[in-house]
Amino acid sequence: MGSWHSDRGDVKGLAADFVVSFGERKTVKSTPQTRYSLIAKLRDSQDAAAWSEFAGIYQPLIFRMVTARGLQHADAIDVTQEVLTRVAAAVAQFDPAHESVTFRGWLYRITRNLTVDFLRRRSRDRMRTGE
């Protein structure tokens, strides 16, 4: 697995640098327990250790959710990268005190929405090219 070091110094750079190195297939046997102390650390976009730990836990889960929707490996890596980038950009707005929203549910919605967006774009592109 890669690490959350980025020469670009920004959150998107961190997400991109990490996921680009995600080439290995990894199976997740169980769903990780959400640690809100880790989620709180993610608000600091420069906390490389927190982002590395987060990616190590959630990247395989996100990848599994994306591939369950039928995406091929390379496409799933791209969508996983986009999910991590969106999480990085929006994690400061996530409020664990809000009773009706769990982190896992929030992450699932982001993953589902970006996967559906990808599938729609792919479908439109195929219709345009006649595939």
Reported as a single tens digit per residue, the pLDDT across 55-99 is: 999 999 999 999 999 999 999 999 999 999 999 999 999 988 887
Asked whether 88 and 42 are in contact (CB, 8 A), the reply is yes
- Residue 49, pLDDT above cutoff 90: yes
Confidence of residue 16 (pLDDT cuts 50, 70, 90): very low
Cα angle, residue 24 at apex, residues 36 and 70 outer, rounded to 5°: 80
Query: Residue 118 in 3-state DSSP?
Result: helix
CA 33, 34, 37, 42 dihedral sign is positive
What pLDDT, on a 0 to 100 scale, did the predictor assign at position 31?
67
Cα pseudo-dihedral 35, 36, 40, 41, rounded to 10:
-10
